[in-house]
């Protein structure tokens, strides 16, 4: 039975992929993301409660 895991031609790219959890973020970026999330939650739950 052939072992297809040893071949490199199954790779989509020649370089190693970097995904978001692996990339470093700054405290400012995390803070901006938190504020955006809070505004989104306030709009999603606050507007229906007011109307």
Place 45 in a pLDDT band, splitting at 50, 70 and 90. Answer: very high
pTM comes to: 0.53
Tokens of 39: 């505004």
Place 50 in a pLDDT band, splitting at 50, 70 and 90. Answer: confident
Sign of CA dihedral 26, 27, 32, 36: positive
Q: Give CA–CA dist 27/34, Å, rounded.
A: 10
């Amino acid at each position: 039975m052939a072992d297809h895991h040893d071949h490199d031609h199954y790779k989509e790219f020649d370089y190693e992929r970097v995904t978001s959890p692996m990339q470093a973020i700054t405290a400012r970026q995390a803070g901006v993301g938190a504020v955006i999330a809070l505004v989104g939650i306030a709009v999603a739950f606050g507007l229906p409660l007011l109307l």
